[in-house]
A = this chain, B = another copy of it.
Amino acid sequence: MIRSFHFIGSVGVSPFHKWKKPLPFLFLQSLPKSRAASSPNEFPSFFVQSQSQRCFRAFQMSASRSESNPEADVASASSSAVLPSTVGPKPKIKFCQSCGGPTKLVIPDGEEKMRAVCTLCGRIFYENPKMVVGCLVEHDNKVLLCKRKIQPSYGLWTLPAGFLEIGESAAEGATRETLEEARAEVEVLSPFAQLDIPLIAQSYIIFRAKMKTPDFSPGPESLDCALFPLEDIPFDSLAFSSIFVTLKMYIEDVKAGKLKFHYCTINKRPGASPSDTHAFAVDNHLLS
């Protein structure tokens, strides 16, 4: 389900402070729809106060996005489409993938966490977060975005990105996804950001890239592809919070005249349900 929602940011001590470790954060609050509707483009007021290698940040923004997908599953995610879960991370392996025997949840010897263990062959199953890899393609001071032709977030704009496949590097995966979604042959230039989203067990790895030739067109998963000047990026119709944050960081770096590598965690606002995309916080923003 795609919903419209709106944020206004503030800097300071907030309920997040107790919810997470006392780290720098971005605090986002819902705005009344009337206000947001009257000012759909009142972004970005995106402030940075550097402190050591961390940043305190605040957004004021209006956005439409979705990260919900009832069909998605933490343990089994499409390689070509980013399909976050609505149910939160928990073991879901009911049968052994090696022998077909039923599993049970136990804490194996020497471990501290509950795992699915086969009752027949004893195999232990581990579930781990997945990497989503993508490119921020630069061309003539513009960036390449794709309008999604698939759920979740059908019709919303994203950077070309998808799940990393077995046998490829993150840079290769990001290049492949860009070719698939935007039919653009690119060369990665530098790592730009890692954005972890623990709630849906995903980690976004975004590279800066350039097109080998200035040719692109929508792939089978895209309705459209376009180059956007930074001031025209459609922040009110981006597909995912990770893309929103990546582009905000990028614009800020470009304005500052220095591109850095960004690491951060995207957390839902305390109390928000896993499928509630109305609020998120950027925690533990670190720079290299």
Contact = CB atoms under 8 A, between A and B. Distances in A.
Contacts of A168: 198
A167 to B, nearest CB: 5
In the complex, which range does the number of interface residues on chain A fall in? 35 or more
A113 B79 contact: yes
A246 interface: no
B169 A79 contact: no
A178 interface: no
Interface in A71-107: 74-80, 88-90, 92-102
Contact of A261 (B164, B165, B261): B261
Contacts of A110: 80, 220
A201 interface: yes
A191 B288 contact: yes
A49 interface: no
Nearest to A102: B100
A111 interface: yes
A126 B194 contact: no
The 10 closest A-B pairs by CB, nearest first: A261-B288, A95-B100, A261-B261, A89-B166, A169-B196, A169-B265, A191-B263, A93-B97, A128-B130, A89-B167
Contacts of A196: 169-171
B170 A201 contact: no
A127 interface: yes
A165 B112 CA distance: 12
A261 B128 CA distance: 24
A170 B203 contact: yes
A96 B99 CA distance: 10
Contacts of A260: 288
A286 interface: yes
Contacts of A199: 167
Interface in A105-155: 110-111, 113, 123-131
